[in-house]
Amino acid sequence: MNFNLTDEQTLLQQTVRQFAEEEVAPGAIERDETKTWPEDIVRQLGEMGLMGIMVPEEYDGAGMDTICYVIAMEEICRADASVGVIMSVNNSLVCGLLDDFGSNDQKRKYLAPLAKGECLGAFSLSEPQAGSDASNLLCRARLTDDVYHITGTKNWVSNGIHSDVVVLFAVTDPEQKHHGISCFIVEKGLEGFSVGKPEDKLGIRSSDTSELYLDDVKVPAVNRISDEGEGFHIALATLDSGRIGIAAQALGIAQAALDHALNYAREREQFGHKIVDFQVIQFMLADMAMEIEAARLLVRRAAFTKDQGEPFSRLAAMAKVFASEVAMKAADKCVQIHGGYGYIRETGVERLLRDAKITQIYEGTSEIQRVVIARDLQKKG
């Protein structure tokens, strides 16, 4: 067993860390406050190959493995988890889906520009009545003369406003329940396609989340991904990969919390001592470091298992639920160590607590992750 990163992984970590510290971190508090989309940063991520990290070079991706992906996600999210979600949606939910299930023509037309960051993708499964119960979709796609007519409302779409292309799930045969769901590539700008207002969120505020409205949007049949009825399987398989990315996002937030807490504790004096000298603070820092280390091992183990081509659904769920809980605890401790200074916006650490919360909710709540783990245990022991 070897826990060391390869030379390629180490170089990537150093490069992304430097970029995150110099370009991403400086404006993070202000972007959060003003809900400003990080346009310039997203462009630079594309230029650095970070929008298509695992996409094969043949399709203009960086051709790296999932370990590289989680390393990059952790470093970016250590600076700004809003940037991290924009990146993770494009990488795992859109590029990953197209790479795994798209036809060669679809990959040439859509995957290559998405991987290069020339355009941005979104993933649209949820609907107002279909969150955890993801197969309960109402959005309908009817086929006539090689064109699907899609009508319905989708919600909670990350990158919903700024994306150019959406991979979207709709019902092609309502009689078939989850076997009647299909997956489509829908270009923005088609007649009948409109986007809702940006949601006003607790955290990850400089990323966008919106509803999508489809009113008889005409999508060519060649834009259906895989066969009719394969959509639910595609969605769940893609979410397995996505969950590793969100686990890495949570890890980055947790590490940022520890960084801030340690720096502050070393500087802050009370009762004539640096507060880092008090055992109560030391125990908090020790617990944060210990839990972050455990989360990192689990995240990288899930990524490694995926790279080996082995089943990784259970590990992805474990990594997400564990890392997101560690992020919440670390961010809470970080605010507590900062005292009153942690509770005001300008210190920037309350943002970590707000950003951490979503990692327990999106791409499957912690409760759903436990369902996935328990079902896998029942099946395989």
**Binding residues for ligand COS (CB under 6 A):** 125-126, 132, 134-135, 156, 178, 232-233, 236-237, 239-240, 313, 362-364, 368, 371-372
Contact (CB, 8 A) for 337 and 261? yes
In angstroms, give the least distance from the CB of 366 to ligand COS: 11
Please confirm, yes or no, whether 127 is among the known catalytic residues.
no
When the beta carbons of 110 and 232 are compared against ligand COS, the nearer one is 232
Task: Indicate the residue whose CB is closest to ligand COS.
Answer: 364
Q: Which is nearer to ligand COS, 344 or 377 (CB)?
A: 377
Query: Which of 291, 325, 350, 363 is flagged as catalytic?
Result: 363
Report in angstroms the alpha-carbon separations of 150 from 79, 135, 162, 215. 39, 17, 21, 7
Closest distance of CB 198 from ligand COS, Å: 16
β-sheet bridge partners, residue 127:
130
Q: What is the smallest separation between the CB atom of 242 and ligand COS, expressed in angstroms?
A: 7
Q: How far is the CB of 238 from ligand COS (least distance, A)?
A: 8
| Bridge partners for 194 per DSSP | 213
For ligand COS, the closer of residues 293 and 367 by Cβ is 367
Structure-token pair, residue 17: 């860390």
Q: Enumerate the H helices of the chain as residue ranges.
A: 7-19, 28-34, 39-47, 66-79, 81-88, 96-101, 104-106, 112-116, 231-267, 279-307, 313-338, 350-358, 366-380
255 neighbors 333 (Cβ within 8 angstroms): no
Q: Tell the smallest beta-carbon distance from residue 210 to ligand COS (Å).
A: 13
Look up residue 320 and give its two tokens: 């997400």
Alpha-carbon distance 91 to 69, whole Å? 9
From the CB of 141, what's the least distance to ligand COS, in Å?
Answer: 18
> Toward ligand COS, which CB reaches closer, 17 or 233?
233
Cα 157 to Cα 107, 110, 111, 116, 121, distances in angstroms? 22, 19, 19, 21, 10
Alpha-carbon dihedral of residues 58, 64, 69, 71, nearest 10 degrees? -150
Catalytic residues: 363
